[in-house]
Amino acid sequence: MSAPEIKKSILDHLTYSIGRPPSLASKQDYYKALALTVRDRLQQHWVETVQAYLEQDLKVACYLSAEFLMGPHLGNNLLNLGIENEVRQAVKEMGCELDELLAEEEEPGLGNGGLGRLAACYMDSLATLERLALGYGIRYEFGIFDQEIRDGWQCEITDKWLRSGNPWEIAKPEITYYVNFGGHTEYYRDEAGAERIRWVPDRAVKGMAYDTPIQGYRVNTCNTLRLWSAEACESFDFQAFNTGDYYGAVDDKVISETITKVLYPNDEPEIGKRLRLLQQYFFVSCSLQDMLRLLDAQGQPTQRFPEKFAVQLNDTHPSIGVAELMRLLVDERRLSWEDAWDITVLTFGYTNHTLLPEALETWPLPLFRELLPRHLEIIYEINARFLASVRETHHQDDEHVKRLSLIDENGEKRIRMAHLACVGSHAINGVAALHSELLKRSVLKDFYELWPERFNNKTNGVTPRRFMALANPKLSELITRTIGDGWITHTEELRMLEPFSEDAAFRKEWRLVKQSNKQQLADYILKQTGIELDPSWMFDVQVKRIHEYKRQHLNILHVITLYNRLKRDPKLAIAPRAFIFGGKAAPGYFIAKRIIKLINAVGEVVNNDPDVNKKLRVAFVPNFNVQNGQLIYPAADLSEQISMAGKEASGTGNMKFTLNGALTIGTLDGANVEIRDEVGEENFFLFGLTTEETLRLQQQGYRPYAYVEGNSELAEAIRLIASGHFSHGDTEVFRPLVDNLCQSDPFLVFADYADYIACQDKVAGVWKDPENWTRMSILNTARAGKFSSDRAIREYCDEIWDVRPVPIMIKDKT
Ligand code: GL2
């Protein structure tokens, strides 16, 4: 597509789609007209991709996820189509700057963090690797809240991402499904006289599809992200309307539409809310009905379902799908239980994303019975057959059987969704080597002993398109100029950079790129916070959700330690550092919100104290999201991956930093272990207890206060926080945090403090030798190829889904 063609299309869209003469058009209008221009192009690829699916007997990967954290579409689509230069020129001729139009896009924040962003990276890789795929999820009207910082505290602002419309999606009112809730079940006799069960629901909502095209990088494959939006079945209950109950009549509509209103903003812990279960069932039912419709449309028998669809459960959130597919096959399609079960298990794969016990989803039985009475019966039946087979073939004792059961009978009875997912899937995986091993040893041990062959590891990955080529154009240009552009789709080629780590001229260019990225971030931070950062300082960055296990408070204890050292001796020669934090806390997470307040409070004191602020600064970047993440990862020197060992399933931010040449200070947790293996232990700053050591320490009876007594720097830091030094004399505000650490410290912050500080001192030493630091930085990028989502998706496709590449030909390029 040439610049003149693009220009013409933008003008056409201004006139015909938006209805504004160019002289009156705002930046937002231009952005939309450009987005529609790009979308037209995607649609051509999309039609050909769908055509290929219809003409050939192909298998599709269906990724079921309650979250898709896509990030802005425009920049990514221009990159993947390879038309950025033409577009830049076209809009310039119309008096616009492309960067200004890019800034007009509201980020679709339909996810909380790593899990939702992983789904988005996987969609990018599936299309780029030319694998047919459908992403199925929820079109939340309000995504993750916008975070503002007021007086150091997090404030949550409703995310109205749809307020100016969404040019990337296409509403498909013809693709709708009914989803039932509530009511009861009853026996009846079918035409042949056989006794069957039917569900008599007392409510229904309609799910409508909104499709977003997902374009692969420089290929013709364009897949679909299909998000479901809930609507009332009828606008009014006319019965109620006619009898004068107007408000009662709209009530049903209001309740139905509530289902997809808002994303639950909790990153990990279980919430157990009724509306959340409704959301899960709603999108899963729509998605499975959609697959069955596609199967029928191709004239395929139901038995072929697993040959046509590989359905991946992104955590347990969609795991009700196991019971729903059984219901659709047995009740609606009248398959035998045995046939339906074979189909179900062959179809599903389950990815576990967390070991945190409080995050493992369970639903109270009464709630389940009230909303999904038929599914409860089906789960009972699955459980009865499963436990009978366990008793029979594995001779398990009662205790064992109890532990395996889909129903937790300790206290209030609850359905264990992870167990349902395990029983209903032929493949079960963790998201990093360590995590997959720990799964087998802890939460899923009994299932591993039963079916070791179902367990496997799929280490996470991130897309190098968005997180390198798009986010870090300068580094990408340097790399491409040096080793060619093959790395964008074959990140293992980054290895070719290794010898250049010994080339002083190359190192200088590498440093200049980093410097320029840091300047850009410093400008952004100044604008957002008023805090000035010097790009020649070390940028020490921790961005991720705020959670105790991720230990942002360990990081801030290091800041306070350096502050104390400088206060004691203002002439102390320490390497100047900017500590940059970012991340949202779940609105109801009391301690996490106090950690944000502490970071800002320490920042206020440090940044305003002339004794220290020439060597230390602290900035909290508000509203960490995909968009500003793209500014942050390329500007980091040091990546903080300091979770307590055994708690972070994988992490994916760690990979984004490494690919962009940051060095990591980290524990042996999640994918850090593999990052260190790849980049070499000499290029990684390791500290902290191992998983085994944390378990041992906690078993022995951990006494956090002993560590305070044994370490004067730690004692001083804690004393300062407690004394109100960072809170204008207020000794109450941080008391819950201090008490929690001193009395229980569930994530072993104190136990790891001394080793962390020693390691940070080592970091500071290495930083003093810029040539060596740069050498290490280059080697980090060069050896991080494994962490591309392309590698991860190839493994899923080859080892779990059996989904092959299908090159798409464009027949009629007009
Ligand atoms: C998470 C894990 O915490 C994180 O370590 C992992 O990288 C991602 C993706 O696999 O999944 N699990 C989870 O519930 N959330 C995550 O980010 N929210």
Cα of 115 vs centre of ligand 1, distance in Å, is 5
For 117, phi and psi rounded to 5 degrees?
A: -70, -35
Please name the residues in contact with 352: beta carbons below 8 A apart, sequence gap of 6 or more.
315, 316, 418, 428, 429, 430, 431, 435, 439, 443, 444, 649
Atom number of ligand 1 nearest to Cα 117: 9
Atom number of ligand 1 nearest to Cα 435: 5
Q: To test the ligand 1 pocket, which listed residue (354, 544, 648, 656) has its Cβ within 8 A of the most ligand atoms? A: 354
| 317 neighbors 361 (Cβ within 8 angstroms) | yes
pLDDT tops 60 at residue 131: yes
Please indicate whether residue 115, judged by its CB atom, sits closer than 6 Å to ligand 1: yes
Is the Cα torsion angle 732, 734, 740, 741 positive or negative in sign?
A: negative
- Structural domain spans, the chain: 56-71+107-459+797-801, 473-787
490 catalytic? Reply is: no
pLDDT in tens, 365-420: 999 999 999 999 999 999 999 999 999 887 778 899 999 999 999 999 999 999 99
| 149 neighbors 163 (Cβ within 8 angstroms) | no
Lowest-confidence pick of 255-264, 280-289, 583-592, 724-733 = 255-264
**Domains 56-71+107-459+797-801 and 473-787 agree in fold:** yes
For 174, phi and psi rounded to 5 degrees?
A: -80, -15
| 315 neighbors 115 (Cβ within 8 angstroms) | yes
Task: Provide the token pair at 73.
Answer: 């579409």
Please indicate whether residue 112, judged by its CB atom, sits closer than 6 Å to ligand 1: yes
* Nearest by Cα to 545 from 268, 161, 152, 357: 268
For 369, phi and psi rounded to 5 degrees?
A: -65, -40
Quickly state the pLDDT bin for 300 (edges 50, 70, 90).
very high
Maximum Cα interatomic distance, the chain, rounded to a whole number of Å:
92
| 579 neighbors 533 (Cβ within 8 angstroms) | no
Please indicate whether residue 460, judged by its CB atom, sits closer than 6 Å to ligand 1: yes
In one-letter notation, the amino acid at residue 807 is P
Separation CA 285–CA 332 (nearest Å)? 13
* Nearest by Cα to 445 from 430, 424, 460: 430
Separation CA 717–CA 18 (nearest Å)? 58
Interface predicted TM-score of the whole assembly (ipTM), two decimals:
0.99
Please name the residues in contact with 574: beta carbons below 8 A apart, sequence gap of 6 or more.
562, 565, 566, 615, 616, 764
Please name the residues in contact with 426: beta carbons below 8 A apart, sequence gap of 6 or more.
345, 346, 348, 349, 454
Atom number of ligand 1 nearest to Cα 67: 18
Please indicate whether residue 114, judged by its CB atom, sits closer than 6 Å to ligand 1: yes
For atom 9 of ligand 1, the residue with the nearest CA is 115
Cα of 643 vs centre of ligand 1, distance in Å, is 13
What is the CB neighbour count within 10 angstroms for residue 188? 10
| 215 neighbors 269 (Cβ within 8 angstroms) | no
pLDDT on residue 247 = 65
* Nearest by Cα to 319 from 273, 357, 352, 356: 352
656 catalytic? Reply is: yes
pTM: 0.97
Candidates 317, 353, 518, 547; catalytic one:
353
Atom number of ligand 1 nearest to Cα 112: 18
Lowest-confidence pick of 241-250, 278-287, 600-609 = 241-250
Separation CA 433–CA 469 (nearest Å)? 27
Cα of 509 vs centre of ligand 1, distance in Å, is 35
For the chain, give me the number of helices (H) and strands (E)?
33, 24
3-class secondary structure, 636: coil
pLDDT in tens, 615-671: 999 999 999 999 999 999 999 999 999 999 999 999 999 999 999 999 999 999 999
pLDDT on residue 243 = 63
Please name the residues in contact with 245: beta carbons below 8 A apart, sequence gap of 6 or more.
none
pLDDT in tens, 419-457: 999 999 999 999 999 999 999 999 999 999 999 999 999
Lowest-confidence pick of 48-57, 63-72, 73-82, 231-240 = 231-240
Separation CA 66–CA 741 (nearest Å)? 34
> b or e along 4-34 (b: 16 or more beta carbons within 10 Å of the residue's beta carbon)?
eebbebbbebbeebbebeeeebeeebbbbbb
For 804, phi and psi rounded to 5 degrees?
A: -100, 160
For atom 7 of ligand 1, the residue with the nearest CA is 651
| 542 neighbors 599 (Cβ within 8 angstroms) | no
3-class secondary structure, 728: coil
13 catalytic? Reply is: no
> Kindly report the CA angle at 497 between 494 and 503, in degrees rounded to 5?
170
Q: Classify strands 60-64 and 309-314 as parallel, antiparallel or unpaired.
A: parallel
Beta partners for 792? none
Atom number of ligand 1 nearest to Cα 649: 5
Candidates 59, 419, 545, 547; catalytic one:
545
Please indicate whether residue 431, judged by its CB atom, sits closer than 6 Å to ligand 1: yes
**Quick one: 264 exposed, middle or buried, by C-beta within 10 A (0-12, 13-18, 19+)?**
middle
- The average pLDDT across 284-307 equals 98
For atom 4 of ligand 1, the residue with the nearest CA is 651
Separation CA 525–CA 527 (nearest Å)? 5
Quickly state the pLDDT bin for 236 (edges 50, 70, 90).
low
Helix (H) or strand (E) holding 137: strand 133-138
> b or e along 107-139 (b: 16 or more beta carbons within 10 Å of the residue's beta carbon)?
bbbbbbbbbbbbbbbbbbbbbbbbbbbbbbbbb
Separation CA 48–CA 54 (nearest Å)? 10
Please indicate whether residue 670, judged by its CB atom, sits closer than 6 Å to ligand 1: yes
Question: CATH class for domain 473-787?
Answer: alpha beta
Please indicate whether residue 267, judged by its CB atom, sits closer than 6 Å to ligand 1: yes
- What average pLDDT does the chain have? 96
811 catalytic? Reply is: no
For atom 14 of ligand 1, the residue with the nearest CA is 268
Quickly state the pLDDT bin for 248 (edges 50, 70, 90).
low
> Kindly report the CA angle at 59 between 81 and 314, in degrees rounded to 5?
80
Separation CA 114–CA 651 (nearest Å)? 7
| 164 neighbors 26 (Cβ within 8 angstroms) | no
Cα of 498 vs centre of ligand 1, distance in Å, is 31
| 8 neighbors 91 (Cβ within 8 angstroms) | no
* Nearest by Cα to 732 from 721, 747, 746, 748: 721
For atom 15 of ligand 1, the residue with the nearest CA is 115
Please indicate whether residue 353, judged by its CB atom, sits closer than 6 Å to ligand 1: yes
Helix (H) or strand (E) holding 136: strand 133-138
pLDDT on residue 147 = 98
User: Could you tell me how far CA 229 lies from the centroid of its own chain?
Assistant: 20
544 catalytic? Reply is: yes
Task: Provide the token pair at 421.
Answer: 């997912």
Cα of 669 vs centre of ligand 1, distance in Å, is 13
pLDDT tops 80 at residue 242: no
Separation CA 742–CA 723 (nearest Å)? 15
Candidates 652, 658, 691, 781; catalytic one:
652
Separation CA 495–CA 511 (nearest Å)? 19
> What number of residues does the chain have?
814
Quickly state the pLDDT bin for 814 (edges 50, 70, 90).
very low
> b or e along 468-500 (b: 16 or more beta carbons within 10 Å of the residue's beta carbon)?
bbbbbebbbebbeeebeeebbbebebbeebeeb
Q: To test the ligand 1 pocket, which listed residue (431, 435, 544, 656) has its Cβ within 8 A of the most ligand atoms? A: 431
Span between the terminal Cα atoms of the chain, in Å:
10
Separation CA 278–CA 272 (nearest Å)? 11
Architecture in CATH for domain 56-71+107-459+797-801: 3-Layer(aba) Sandwich (3.40)
Please name the residues in contact with 297: beta carbons below 8 A apart, sequence gap of 6 or more.
none
Phi-psi region of 729 (alpha: psi -120 to 50; beta: other; left: phi over 0): left
pLDDT tops 60 at residue 70: yes
What is the CB neighbour count within 10 angstroms for residue 395? 8
Beta partners for 185? 199
* Nearest by Cα to 53 from 127, 120, 119, 133: 133
762 catalytic? Reply is: no
Atom number of ligand 1 nearest to Cα 648: 5
Cα of 116 vs centre of ligand 1, distance in Å, is 8
Please name the residues in contact with 234: beta carbons below 8 A apart, sequence gap of 6 or more.
none
